[in-house]
Chain A
Amino acid sequence: MRQISRAAVIWQLIAFAGVVIPHVSWLPFWLGGLCLVTPAVRLMIHTGRWPLPHWSVKLLLILAVAAGLLLSFSRETGMNATVALLVAGLALKMIEIYHRRDALVLLYVALFVCATSFLYHQSIAMALYALFSVVLVIAALNSIYQDPQRTDLIRPLRRSLRLVSLSIPLMLVLFVLFPRIGPLWSVSMNQQRALSGLSDTMAPGDISQLTKSAALAFRVSFDREIPEPAQRYWRSLIYTEFDGRSWRVPAEYDRRSPGGESLLEVERLLSYEVIYEPTNRHWLVALDQPLSAPQGMRFSPGHTLYSLRAVDRRQSYRLRSALEYRLQPILSGRDHTAYTQLPDGSNRRARELALQRWQEVDQDPERFVARVLAQFNRAFTYTLTPPPLGQDPIDGFLFDSRQGFCGHYAGALAFLLRSVGIPARVVGGYQGGEWNPYERYITVRQYDAHAWVEYWLDGRGWVRVDPTAAVSPERVVEAADQVFARDPAFLADTPLARWRFGGSGWVVDLRRQIDALNFNWHRWVLNYQGQQMELLTRLMGQVSVLKMVFALLLPFSLVMLFMAWTQLKGRRAKPRDPVDRALQRLLSRLARLGVPRCSDETLQTYTARVVAEYPEMRSSMEVLARLDEAVRYAGQSAQARDLLAAINDCYRALRAVRPVSAENEVK
């Protein structure tokens, strides 16, 4: 049981603080308080003001903390509780850091806690911070193994910085090459609440709530061709059931007809990759009609993508989509009924209006739609803050308020279509997105959320119609932030974001560059498993086990050689004293000129040898030798400055000297 030094105790405190700080934001406040109190207690013990606590005090503390953990985390068993337990353990251990073994337990657990902070934050800043706290922990580890007499706190830090920076190359090699395998068993962060995003029910005003948020929804990078803004319809949910007030995704959404609707005559294919932010929901997004579902995903009946597992972390997937297609040209009788179902007795005025228009256009669905859109265009306004609607929202919207957001228009149009027996459904998703010219990808935020309508034509299948485009065409063509910029309700929840996302000129430019950096971070680091195969194939052609082994061994041995070299070469002994340093410089130059000084030679005898070779050095060298003798042997330290000057004089004189051997060659 070896006791650790005082400097090491301080380092344990620093390392502890370093790893706990990222967790303070979500830990219960009492645990945060504990993390403040115990290091303070340890400091009081350290400075000798308090004695080491009695065992009964420690026991009481442990019981209190255990009770606190039970109260705070009794309903959770996931990672939160584990991390809280570890942090509490660290905080308690802090008090009795005394022996080397205590410190080791503390530091190892601290490293684990440091890793768990990545489950909560994954930004670049967090990664840099974690790197910093690893440096602190390694310094603390070094401090318990260095000479206990040393009180210098900076020394372990310096060594730790050196070690960590030396280990970065090997880390990168391992990061790039280590095969990523799926989870060994299913784990979940216990954040069951849905994050902001689309919901599986849509009342008319719902989507306008989303425009208050500038949170990232997903990013897309296209392989080659990029669709026009007006073609960027990201389908996510199909609302088929209407109860008179709101549209709903059917409950059996996941299980009915695993293949989804049939997709025919696909044209204008685009390949792209989606990096989808976590929502804790199952549904995903895809541009129009994807051809096939990637692994772990399925098509819903309405041919949208959903994930078999709730998306509780950022996910990336590659898709190929068609912009021109025919979707489900033949509709079964059952589906036909389902897509024309309306609750009885609600929104009577709207039904009457629909039937009247239906007669006017001679029961032609396309002309019917055009008619309704024309009416929207003429008499309706587009706003983020529509007035509340009454008992029959469709009636209220069509006949009274006549202003609304995409959800109102889509819901109303689908209702009118169904009233006259045309199968119709509301599609929820996102529209548009911001093009980032720096990294060539599209960023879609929550305020890009959108709703539109698909109606079914016999023989042609589902046809998309966006009533919002009729009312406010710029919404579909321009980015949402441009369209909404002057609407006070836009981004109302995040006042700072309004400045960030509005703006113009260099502000937008800077924001796009930062976003591009984040995109690369998400793509290449946070979601590296999605890129690994492609990258490795690009680097070394067909990936095989043998190649992987070589790829691992080659950089590995290079890095190892480099590390061994830096360790074993030693550093050039550099004298601290300016006189010695200048002298060393002079001597090494003389050695290069062919007169090396022997180790047992005094400067006096050496001078004689130098003068024999280079007579022009006589005066300056003799001054030097005399001064050196005076300083070294007669103890006249006052002349040290003269000595330095003399050495520098010699050096200057030497620069004019040409090597003897070179002169010989000339002759």
Chain B
Amino acid sequence: MSWVEVAGIVRLSRVLRNWSLKRFPRRRTVRLTQNRIYILPSAAGVGFIFLLLMLLLLAINYESNLAYGLTFMLVSLFILSIIQTYANLAGLEVTALRGHTCYAGEPAGFTLELRAAKGRDHEQLVLSWDRGTPLTLDLTDQRVAQVELACPALRRGWLDPGPLKLETHFPLGLFRAWTWLDTGLRALVYPKPIACRVPDSGGGEGAMDARRTRALGFEDFNGFSRYENGVSLHQVAWKVYARGQGLHVKQYAGTASDEVWLDWDHWLALNEEERLSGICYWALEFTQREQPFGVRLPGVSLMPASGEAHRLRVLRALALFGQEASACDRSAVRR
């Protein structure tokens, strides 16, 4: 925790941050320069200043020129460490690559690429969003590093992690150099899957049971097929893989022709978010079993289908249900 926050100047720091972010247009790759690197003594640095004053007092009162010498040595180390700490950030190139989808309640990952300035080391860089665990890394042996920085996703919809903060105390901890970057990254957060009552099928009332048992029970195993990209990992026959026979997918019989509808109106007892969570749960279930299903939401209707693409379409619709309009304009702003 920096002393700025301890001192209760949170608001000032917020104002400074907004001002700093407004000064620069959003870009995918940002090279850190003196324009946007801020540097102030850290709490340890303030302690060090106090130490310097004590030493100076000692030197003056005992008229000890060697103590003066030591004091000035530390003063000049202190000043040098401004440059050192600044140089630890300066020249670094940060590229915002992408945000990864996740379910509400999980941390959403954002991939960032850091590229060291030519011929220089950057050590102990701390990356953080407003929330979530900060990540520390060294760029000493390799010039480029890709990191995934997590930000907790509390609600479904687009997650904007806010500005990225990059800070460092290296090498002596006397100064804190930092910068804020508007990465423009966002991650799509799906509703949290919550198991709920079995959904009705979209067809008539009478033929329920047979189909429902088929839909929910465990169908007959029908053999393996070769793994192809995009197939859910749940269907991979891991035991076969473990035997060293390559990636295969378990096939189940008799699911292709059945259609199930996940209907908004089916769960009248639940509120809006709970319904979305329920639909999400079943959508995942059906996809795993390769059971085609359709989704009916107010104003949205997705025809029954199966497979990865369908799943993504459904999850996206669930995630953005009711908030599409407000969030979609952001992608237009980018670039």
B272 near A: Cβ within 8 Å? no
A122 surroundings in chain B (CB, below 8 A): 64, 66
- Give the total of A residues in contact with B, Cβ under 8 Å: 59
Q: How far is the CA of A142 from the CA of B124 in the complex (A)?
A: 11
Q: How far is the CA of A169 from the CA of B73 in the complex (A)?
A: 9
B87, A171: Cβ atoms under 8 Å?
Answer: no
B73, A171: Cβ atoms under 8 Å?
Answer: yes
B-contacting residues, A118-159, CB 8 Å: 118-119, 122, 126-127, 130-131, 134, 138, 141-142, 144-147, 159
Q: How far is the CA of A166 from the CA of B76 in the complex (A)?
A: 9
B65, A528: Cβ atoms under 8 Å?
Answer: yes
Task: Tell me which of A112, A175, A572 contacts B68 (CB under 8 A).
Answer: A175
A104 surroundings in chain B (CB, below 8 A): 44, 47, 173
B61, A175: Cβ atoms under 8 Å?
Answer: no
B172, A142: Cβ atoms under 8 Å?
Answer: yes
Contact with A along B194-237 (1 / 0, CB 8 A): 00000000000000000000000000000000000000000000
A131 surroundings in chain B (CB, below 8 A): 73
Task: Tell me which of B62, B72, B172 contacts A183 (CB under 8 A).
Answer: B62
Q: Is the interface of A mostly helix, strand, loop or mixed?
A: helix
B97 near A: Cβ within 8 Å? no
B37 near A: Cβ within 8 Å? no
B164 near A: Cβ within 8 Å? no
A-contacting residues, B47-97, CB 8 Å: 47-48, 51, 54-55, 57-77, 79-81, 83-84, 87, 90-91
The minimal Cβ–Cβ distance linking B33 to chain A, given in whole angstroms, is 11
Q: How far is the CA of A189 from the CA of B62 in the complex (A)?
A: 9
A116, B58: Cβ atoms under 8 Å?
Answer: yes
Task: Tell me which of B62, B80, B170 contacts A167 (CB under 8 A).
Answer: B80
B87, A178: Cβ atoms under 8 Å?
Answer: no
B61, A185: Cβ atoms under 8 Å?
Answer: yes
The minimal Cβ–Cβ distance linking B77 to chain A, given in whole angstroms, is 5
Q: How far is the CA of A167 from the CA of B74 in the complex (A)?
A: 8
Q: A145-B171, A187-B61 are in contact. Are A525 and B66 (CB under 8 A)?
A: yes
A570, B118: Cβ atoms under 8 Å?
Answer: yes
B316 near A: Cβ within 8 Å? no
Q: Is the interface of B mostly helix, strand, loop or mixed?
A: helix
For residue B119, which residue of chain A has the nearest CB? A570
Q: A163-B171, A164-B77 are in contact. Are A108 and B65 (CB under 8 A)?
A: no
A313 near B: Cβ within 8 Å? yes
A560, B83: Cβ atoms under 8 Å?
Answer: yes
B57 surroundings in chain A (CB, below 8 A): 184
B169 near A: Cβ within 8 Å? yes
B-contacting residues, A355-375, CB 8 Å: none
Q: A145-B170, A571-B119, A573-B118 are in contact. Are A183 and B87 (CB under 8 A)?
A: no
B62, A146: Cβ atoms under 8 Å?
Answer: no
Task: Tell me which of A183, A564, A571 contacts B83 (CB under 8 A).
Answer: A564
A308 near B: Cβ within 8 Å? no
Query: Chain B: interface residue count, which band?
Result: 35 or more
Task: Tell me which of A147, A187, A570 contacts B123 (CB under 8 A).
Answer: A147
A174, B77: Cβ atoms under 8 Å?
Answer: no
Contact with A along B108-127 (1 / 0, CB 8 A): 00000000011110011000
A525, B65: Cβ atoms under 8 Å?
Answer: yes
B87 surroundings in chain A (CB, below 8 A): 564, 567-568
Task: Tell me which of A178, A184, A526, A572 contacts B119 (CB under 8 A).
Answer: A572
B5 near A: Cβ within 8 Å? no
What would 20 more interface pairs be, CB under 8 Å, given A159-B171, A170-B75, A171-B75?
A104-B44, A111-B51, A118-B64, A147-B123, A147-B136, A164-B73, A166-B80, A167-B80, A168-B76, A170-B72, A170-B76, A171-B76, A174-B72, A313-B64, A528-B65, A529-B63, A560-B79, A567-B83, A567-B87, A571-B119
**CB<8 Å pairs between A and B, sample of 16:** A111-B70, A115-B59, A119-B64, A119-B67, A144-B173, A145-B171, A163-B80, A163-B81, A163-B84, A174-B75, A183-B60, A183-B63, A313-B64, A564-B87, A570-B119, A570-B120
Chain A interface residues (CB < 8 Å from chain B): 79, 104, 108, 111-112, 114-116, 118-119, 122, 126-127, 130-131, 134, 138, 141-142, 144-147, 159, 163-164, 166-171, 174-175, 178, 180-185, 187, 189, 313, 525-529, 560, 563-564, 567-573
Nearest 6 Cβ contacts at the A-B interface: A570-B119, A170-B76, A167-B76, A174-B72, A118-B66, A567-B87
